[in-house]
Amino acid sequence: MGKRTTLLATVALPIVSLVWQPVQAAMVRPALVESGMPHVITVQEGDLSEAEQRKLRRQRQKEQQQQENGEQQGERRKKQREAAEGDDQQQQDRQKAREERRQKQREAEAGDQQQQDRQKAREERRQKQREAEAGDQQQDRQKAREERRQKQREAEAGDQQQQDRQKAREERRQKQREAEAGDQQQQDRQKAREERRQKQREAASEEQQQQDRQKAREERRQKQREAAAEEEQQQDRQKAREERRQKQREAAEDREREEKKAERPRRKRDEDRERIARDPSKTNETIELPFVDGAAVLDSDKDFDNRKGSAREERRRKRAEERENVRIRVPESDRDAQVGWKDRDRVRYESGERERGERRDRRPRYEERDGWRVEREFDNRAVINFGDRIIVRSDDGRRLSRRASETYYEDLPHGRVREVIIRPNGDRVVTIRSRYGDVIQRSRIDRSGSEYVMFYAPEIDRDSRPTFVDPGERLPPMRLTVPVDEYIIDTSAEEERDYRDFLERPPVEPVERVYTLDEVKYSARIRDKVRRIDLDTITFATGSSEISVNQAATLRKVADAMNEILDKDAGETFLIEGHTDAVGSDESNLVLSDERAEAVANVLTDVYDIPPENLATQGYGERFLKIDTDAAEQLNRRVTIRRVTPLVKPVAMAE
């Protein structure tokens, strides 16, 4: 009993005091438990029995366990509160459970039964706590499962994303492969197209080459046909030439028979003049033709005789005095005649087509020189007055282009004009003129490209020379040192003469420089340097420039000689001079004489096939009479031929 009393005093009373404490105190207890303060009951173990001690130990163990459980429960509650702050219903359930536990604890504090009830309640609470803990654990597990599921879902989502990315990569790779395949196909198609185009180009090139070969074959055949036609034409021309020559011989024989029958009187010879004519070098006086009323041999002397002022005899005396100091060396060849150029650089002929020109739409009209006055115009001729002289000037381009297939003009620098005449056989005649119409250069370019130069005076391209100056005025009087019959040939008197040999002979005195065609035409002193043939077998009717067939036949021997010279050198040039008697006005005689020169040039071209570009024409009217008379005189109505090649191009200097 004593032990029970002691146990009651030591164990039960404190418990009862705890149970019956005010609610507010009981409400604070969980805070003490939660604060970690241990609930210590001091009992003297020596005063207790072994069973009580075990019970006390169990009680302590339970309290300790309870305390630990309380601490654990507090920690769990803390965790639960922290984990489930938003779950109000669970908080209320836990609060209700705490109230029930406290109520049960208070009821259990009244006695053992109550203690047992409390113990039981505690066991129930513990069970509930365990269940709650199990529930909490279940929740934790559920939460863990949810977390794991979430992670799994996230992992699955990551895997799905990874799969999606992998799938996307695969799709991109597939598209890339398809694109690469498309590019490869595109490249293959492009390559195939290029190959087809290359094959087409090769086929087109082959076709073009085939066409070119065919065209070349056609051109060769055409050239062969043209060559055959040309050869046939050459043969026809040769045959026609032989026929014309035969007819000419027959006509000449008929004419000779008619002349013998008519017994035409010849002009009476002058013995004194003939003696001087055989060796003119022995006198300084003016040399005259060796027959009665014969005029001066040299045109420059005729010009001097016709000047106004003192009497003719006085002028001739002064001229003879000027000749005393003149020493003349007769050249042996054209090159020897041009010895004045021996220290100069050699001249290389330049092509007439070397410069690019601008096409004109009409024939040019050249500028007039200073001091020139046009008195009258006749068709393509103009009578010009300058100083104390009158001249006739014609456009020889019309004569050269009579049978041309095309003629056009081009403007060149420095006011020059290029005239191009295209023949049906493909030959081109190219003439370059200055702004005043002077011929700077003339050449013929055949269809093979070979160029033959007739005139070449490039110096006047650098010197405009607006005023014409007779270059013969700067030279001393001409002194003839060769026999007259080696200087002049009359075709009526010397039919058996070798005209080719005569025309090929060099000038009778040295040539200072290359002269322009106009300088040669308008300077008697310069023309006197070369020999001449008087075609006195051409007897024009008064006021006429027509040539009969019989008279044209008399040109055969001279024409044959000219053709032989041109066969040797296609760049030779011949000057055809026309003359009249003293009947009529100066202007009309100038025009008539120019027409007569052109008529002879046309006969030489049309009948004897002498190219027109190798012929230059000029009329002089009554200025250079052969018979010194104002009456109508047949011998004054004549035409003269000179070979002027060494005067108009640098024969000695050309390369």
Q: What Rg, from alpha-carbon coordinates, does the chain have?
A: 71
Pick the most confident of 55-59, 102-106, 481-485: 481-485
What is the pTM assigned to this prediction? 0.61
Residue 155 pLDDT = 77
The confidence band for 109, taking pLDDT boundaries of 50, 70 and 90, is: confident
Residue 264 pLDDT = 42
Residue 343 pLDDT = 53
CA distance 197 to 133: 89
Pick the most confident of 62-76, 237-251, 610-624: 610-624
At 25-34, the pLDDT tens digits run 444 444 444 4
Q: Starting at the earlier edge strand, list the strands of the sheet with 381-386.
A: 373-378, 381-386, 389-394
How many C-beta atoms surround the C-beta of residue 653 within 10 A?
A: 17
What residue type is 72 in one-letter code?
A: Q
How many C-beta atoms surround the C-beta of residue 551 within 10 A?
A: 18
At 339-361, the pLDDT tens digits run 765 555 566 788 888 889 999 98
Mean pLDDT lowest for which of 60-69, 470-479, 598-607, 636-645?
A: 60-69
In this prediction, residues 54-60 reach a mean pLDDT of 78
CA distance 160 to 234: 104
φ/ψ bin of 531: left (φ > 0), alpha (ψ from -120 to 50), beta (otherwise): beta
Pick the most confident of 92-96, 124-128, 432-436, 455-459: 432-436
CA distance 503 to 489: 10
Backbone angles phi, psi at 619, to 5 degrees: -100, 140
Residue 170 pLDDT = 84
For residue 504, pLDDT beyond 70:
yes
Residues in Cβ contact with 406 at an 8 Å cutoff, skipping those fewer than 6 apart: 421, 422
CA distance 515 to 244: 37
CA distance 434 to 460: 8
The confidence band for 4, taking pLDDT boundaries of 50, 70 and 90, is: low
In this prediction, residues 118-142 reach a mean pLDDT of 78
For residue 575, pLDDT beyond 60:
yes
CA distance 120 to 7: 20
Residue 61 pLDDT = 78
For residue 455, pLDDT beyond 50:
yes
Residues in Cβ contact with 514 at an 8 Å cutoff, skipping those fewer than 6 apart: 456, 457, 459, 647, 648, 649, 650
CA dihedral 599, 604, 608, 610 (to 10 degrees): -140
Backbone angles phi, psi at 197, to 5 degrees: -65, -45
For residue 260, pLDDT beyond 50:
no
For residue 40, pLDDT beyond 50:
no
Residue 507 pLDDT = 95
At 150-169, the pLDDT tens digits run 887 787 777 788 888 888 88
Higher pLDDT, 556 or 549: 556
Residue 420 pLDDT = 95
Is the CB of residue 552 less than 8 Å from the CB of residue 607?
yes
The confidence band for 262, taking pLDDT boundaries of 50, 70 and 90, is: very low
Backbone angles phi, psi at 452, to 5 degrees: -120, 120
47-56: long-range contacts at Cβ-Cβ below 8 A with a sequence spacing of 24 or more?
A: 47/6, 48/3, 48/6, 48/7, 48/10, 49/3, 52/3, 52/7, 56/11
The tokens describing 431, both together, are 């003439």
- Classify residue 395 as exposed, middle or buried by CB count within 10 Å of its CB (0-12, 13-18, 19+): middle
Residue 601 pLDDT = 95
SS3 359: strand
CA distance 72 to 68: 6
CA distance 93 to 116: 25
What does the mean pLDDT of the chain come to? 81
CA distance 369 to 383: 14
Evaluated on CA atoms 275, 280, 282, 287, the torsion sign reads positive
For residue 53, pLDDT beyond 70:
yes
Q: Starting at the earlier edge strand, list the strands of the sheet with 532-534.
A: 488-490, 532-534, 639-643, 574-578, 615-619
In this prediction, residues 595-599 reach a mean pLDDT of 94
Residue 23 pLDDT = 42
Residue 245 pLDDT = 63
Length of the chain as a residue count: 655
CA angle 597/602/604 to nearest 5° reads: 95
Residue 28 pLDDT = 40
In this prediction, residues 290-295 reach a mean pLDDT of 88
CA angle 9/11/16 to nearest 5° reads: 90
Q: What's the Cα-to-Cα distance from 173 to each of 170, 177, 508, rounded to whole Å?
A: 5, 6, 104
CA distance 418 to 434: 9
The confidence band for 487, taking pLDDT boundaries of 50, 70 and 90, is: very high
Higher pLDDT, 124 or 290: 290
Residue 397 pLDDT = 85
The confidence band for 615, taking pLDDT boundaries of 50, 70 and 90, is: very high
Write out 5-45 in H/E/C secondary structure: HHHHHHHHHHHHHHHCCCHHHHHHHHHHHHHCCCCCCCCCH
At 200-228, the pLDDT tens digits run 888 877 777 777 777 777 777 776 676 66
SS3 295: coil
Residue 499 pLDDT = 93
CA distance 167 to 578: 111
How many Cα atoms within 13 Å fall on the side-chain side of residue 217?
Answer: 5
Backbone angles phi, psi at 519, to 5 degrees: -65, -40
The tokens describing 322, both together, are 């000027």
At 305-340, the pLDDT tens digits run 887 777 888 888 888 888 888 888 899 998 888 876
In this prediction, residues 416-433 reach a mean pLDDT of 93
In this prediction, residues 539-556 reach a mean pLDDT of 85
Residue 431 pLDDT = 94
